[in-house]
Amino acid sequence: MAKIDVRLRENVHLLGELLGRTIREQHGDLFFEKIELIRKGAKAARQGSADGAAQLAATLDSLSEGELLPMSRAFNQFLNLANIAEQYHRVRRHREGEAAPFEESMLSGLLGRLEAAGHAPRQLARQVAQLDIELVLTAHPTEVSRRTLIQKYDAITAQLAARDHADLSPGERARIELNLQRLIAEAWHTEEIRRSRPTPLEEAKWGFATIEGSLWQALPNVLRQTDAILRNAAGQPLPLEAAPIRFASWMGGDRDGNPNVTAKVSRTVLLLAREVAAGLYLRDIDDLVTTLSMQNASEELRARVGDSPEPYRQLLKGLRERLLATRDWARMAQESELPPCERVLQENAELSEPLALCHRSLHACGMHVIADGALLDCLRRVATFGLFLVRLDIRQDALWHTAALAEITEYLGLGDYRQWHEERRLAFLSAELENPRPLLPHRYQPSPQTAEVLATCAVIAQAPAASLGSYVISMARSASDVLAVQLLLKEAGLDRPMRVAPLFETLDDLNAAGQVIERLLTLPGYRAHLAGAQEVMIGYSDSAKDAGTTAAAWAQYRAQEALVDICARHGVELLLFHGRGGSVGRGGGPAHAAILSQPPGSVKGRFRTTEQGEMIRFKFGLPGIAEQNLNIYLAAILEATLLPPPMPEPHWREVMERLACDGVEAYRSVVRDHPQFVDYFRQATPEQELGRLPLGSRPAKRREGGVQSLRAIPWIFAWTQTRLMLPAWLGWERALENALDRGEQQVLESMRRQWPFFATRIDMLEMVLAKTDAEIAGRYDARLVDEPLLELGARLRDRLSRAVRAVTGLTGQSQLLAHSPETLEAFSLRNTYLDPLHLMQIELLARSRQPDVLVDSPLEQALLVSVAGIAAGLRNTG
């Protein structure tokens, strides 16, 4: 088996040793020896040693009540430090002879392939400049680790980077290790679990901190590299105004099922984004004022500033004053309805124009190297982030709009809008959209819920267009759902088009998505209200929860195909918005493979996708990691646009249709139809306890009820904790077995070789199955589940083993991930720390479910720490 890189192993060992010293100092040698006994016992047990398993069990059983919390914390911190070492390893200094990360060469390699395929270099350069990729940061599932700890983890990473020099003196190395010891001690003595849920405003600040701490630096670095590649390959630079990657956010705008997100919150977040952006640009401008001290300037610049001895400073000091005014106004306006004064920057062009003038002047005077330094980086930031940092999306459930309109139509004496059939709704909405008069008189007093809907629309109407993204309609099912939002926005005073994106998120809704958009595009006058492209959001999380990943994946694919065809026939540009989660059960997976597996024609230089919760930190939390992931997006979207995957063969489609039918039947026969399933789910997993983990600002459920009322995130999270990972694979075992029984092995193998969609599904299925552990899941059952429900658990674990056999049979491997021994070893090392956490969690769950356990007791805290530790070890929550 391949070994993990020596430098990574060394860093993991160092961080673990320093944590061990910290634990010894607080809890003594005896406690630390128990940790070592548990770790060694877990490792030996994983290797099949009965003595190791006995030692592990005996040591865990010997823990006193007071030792459970620090022991859970110890293994939690070991896993977090391993994550830090792994992340740093991806961006470490590369020594002479080492290959650079493949992400750095993806774009240049792709351009070479595209040129060989007949694309002209200059056309390729234009295509790159025109890319429109928008990554939408969302708060759910929010980060398990506290922001305070994340900052300490980032500082640990910085010290690993400082240590990564071969020529350090002994004194320098000692100082770095002392700094690491201090940071690890600070992390150890900091609570892992928040005392209360974050507010939507705190979530937004967390998202802004990711931009400030990482993306603000990473983005211009990526565009600088892209510019160099284009100059080399096509002789053309990346234009100053090009923004191939932008960012949007749901933090403070996603009110679907979250009563904590109000119109006031959204308004505050919009202003906070302007305040943060102004502050970031002020730092840049201050640096430029210091740097651009030269005297030579173009006539164009001289005409603006006069006969100043330092023309660049003169111009930029004026811009700095306006940024100060903008920042101060945005801060004060969060507390009161304060109109902006004339000095407040309102349009992105007001920020970019003086910077571009400086850039032109420097080039005109022969100071190219100065022009294309920090000034160019600032211009790239302006093109990407603008005055508003991120574009805020607004999301709300269609039922809220329906209820608001029903209240309005009843007030107007027109009857109950909810009872109207679709054609009557469309006729009413279309007529009112074209009617110049207001729909409501000033004396109308709405109910609190309708008032909130109208207030949200008013915030949208008053906000600058460039500060907003899309209005996303959850649970959209009909064309009237889209027109309803447009009418409510019109009533609030919005006099410009805004993208309104229906979100199709159940199996039935995905199947009907094409019909809904077809109906919309045939409505007279509808296109006048389109803000450019017709945006449609594809829901991965809830469709998978509704039908299982087999049927959901195929429904998502077919829906996209239908939408591409319909919009092409109507001559309307389509923008697909992919609502992916972090885990496989919620549509997650490697971005490159996922993008290249989309239907042909669905990616035409434009791509919108969510980046959720803990995946934001893993993918964008460090500048170097962020650069790698941004490079992946650039290359993948360009490749999917110009080298789209082949159309699936008709017989592949037939096979996939049968797989989907078998998959949904098998999935629903358990999740919906088995009378004991809900009881088993609640006993075997920490689902109920997760409701006490302050993960995000919104409730775990949309409403009271069973599994269907759960959000997709806790649904996935609960099964992840027990290592059964049921939502990610249930249904595939039956679907693949039936296909093999029908003699379709060869066609499945050809689908996997030649159809990126199917290959990616199988690869993601294999990855998640490699993280499952039937033995661990069985231990949860044995300790927590009532006797009558144990048979169901055993049957599910049997289905898991069948899924594993089906996948290895299809891939021809002796075991899962046999082609990736490095990944297998990484999983093996993590299991050494995960196994004790699982066993402690099982015992903690059993004790915490006793009626006399108090909230916020050490037992409760230990349980929540175990949840966070397992999430860290598996690197995903939901």
Q: Is 414 helix (H, G, I), strand (E, B) or coil?
A: coil
**Average pLDDT for residues 772-797, to the nearest whole number?**
97
| Cis amide bond preceding 237, omega within 30 | no
pLDDT, tens digit, 9 for 90 and up, residues 619-644: 998 899 999 999 999 999 999 999 99
**Average pLDDT for residues 363-388, to the nearest whole number?**
97
Per-residue pLDDT at 705 exceeds 80: no
Q: Partners of 395 in the beta sheet?
A: 254, 472
With contact defined as beta carbons under 8 Å apart, do 457 and 492 qualify?
A: yes
Q: How far apart are CA 255 and CA 262, in angstroms?
A: 7
Contacts of 424 by beta carbon, 8 Å cutoff, 6+ apart: none
Task: Specify the pLDDT at position 455.
Answer: 97
More confident residue, 217 or 622: 217
Task: Specify the pLDDT at position 878.
Answer: 41
Which residue in the block uniquely carries the two structure tokens 């290895």? 808
| Interaxial angle between packed helices 677-684 and 774-784, expressed in degrees from 0 to 180 and rounded to the nearest 10 | 100
Task: Specify the pLDDT at position 584.
Answer: 43
With contact defined as beta carbons under 8 Å apart, do 27 and 193 qualify?
A: no
Task: Specify the pLDDT at position 182.
Answer: 97
Nearest to 728 by CA among 697, 694, 761, 755: 761
Phi, psi of 412 (to 5 degrees): -85, 0
Per-residue pLDDT at 401 exceeds 70: yes
Q: How far apart are CA 856 and CA 694, in angstroms?
A: 12
Which residue in the block uniquely carries the two structure tokens 């088009």? 497
Catalytic, out of 43, 140, 401, 838? 140
pLDDT, tens digit, 9 for 90 and up, residues 334-375: 999 899 999 999 999 999 999 999 999 999 999 999 999 999
Distances from the Cα of 642 to the Cα of 117, 128, 213, angstroms? 10, 11, 34
Single-letter code of the amino acid located at 180:
L
Q: How far apart are CA 340 and CA 162, in angstroms?
A: 45
pTM of the model: 0.93
Q: Which stretches within 703-755 are classed as H helix?
A: 712-722, 726-729, 732-741, 745-754
pLDDT, tens digit, 9 for 90 and up, residues 436-492: 999 999 899 999 999 999 999 999 999 999 999 999 999 999 999 999 999 999 999
**Average pLDDT for residues 208-217, to the nearest whole number?**
94
Highest mean pLDDT among 89-93, 267-271, 701-705: 267-271
- The answer to whether residue 140 is catalytic is yes
Contacts of 223 by beta carbon, 8 Å cutoff, 6+ apart: 238, 242, 244, 380, 384
Residue 608's Cβ-side half-sphere holds a number of Cα atoms within 13 Å equal to 25
Indicate the range of 331-345, 647-661, 856-870 predicted with least confidence.
856-870
The total of other beta-carbon atoms located within 10 Å of residue 836's CB is: 26
- The alpha carbon of residue 519 and the mean position of all alpha carbons in its chain are separated, in whole angstroms, by 32
pLDDT, tens digit, 9 for 90 and up, residues 35-74: 999 999 998 998 889 998 899 889 988 888 889 999 999 9
Per-residue pLDDT at 704 exceeds 60: no
Indicate the range of 246-250, 642-646, 767-771, 821-825 predicted with least confidence.
821-825
Task: Specify the pLDDT at position 712.
Answer: 60
The total of other beta-carbon atoms located within 10 Å of residue 7's CB is: 16
Per-residue pLDDT at 648 exceeds 90: yes
Q: Partners of 852 in the beta sheet?
A: none
Task: Specify the pLDDT at position 852.
Answer: 75
pLDDT, tens digit, 9 for 90 and up, residues 110-149: 999 999 999 999 999 999 999 999 999 998 544 456 778 8
With contact defined as beta carbons under 8 Å apart, do 636 and 245 qualify?
A: no
Q: How far apart are CA 719 and CA 703, in angstroms?
A: 21
The total of other beta-carbon atoms located within 10 Å of residue 58's CB is: 12
Single-letter code of the amino acid located at 555:
A
Task: Specify the pLDDT at position 147.
Answer: 76
What's the farthest any 2 CA atoms get from each other in the chain? 89
With contact defined as beta carbons under 8 Å apart, do 216 and 381 qualify?
A: yes
Per-residue pLDDT at 585 exceeds 50: no
Distances from the Cα of 378 to the Cα of 137, 213, 249, 289, 409, angstroms? 22, 16, 22, 12, 51
Q: How far apart are CA 709 and CA 711, in angstroms?
A: 7
Query: Is 235 exposed, middle or buried (CB count within 10 Å of its CB: 0-12, 13-18, 19+)?
Result: exposed
- The answer to whether residue 545 is catalytic is yes
- Domains annotated for the chain, with CATH where assigned, are 1-100+147-190+821-878 (no CATH), 263-388 (1.20.1440.90), 393-589 (no CATH), 648-819 (no CATH)
Q: Is 248 helix (H, G, I), strand (E, B) or coil?
A: strand
Q: How far apart are CA 184 and CA 453, in angstroms?
A: 47
H or E segment at 470? strand 468-474
More confident residue, 613 or 652: 652
713: confidence class by pLDDT, cuts 50, 70, 90: low
With contact defined as beta carbons under 8 Å apart, do 89 and 160 qualify?
A: no
Distances from the Cα of 164 to the Cα of 168, 307, 624, 714, angstroms? 9, 50, 15, 39
Contacts of 389 by beta carbon, 8 Å cutoff, 6+ apart: 208, 211, 247, 273, 274, 276, 277, 280
Catalytic, out of 152, 401, 529, 545? 545
7: confidence class by pLDDT, cuts 50, 70, 90: confident
Which residue in the block uniquely carries the two structure tokens 């823990």? 63
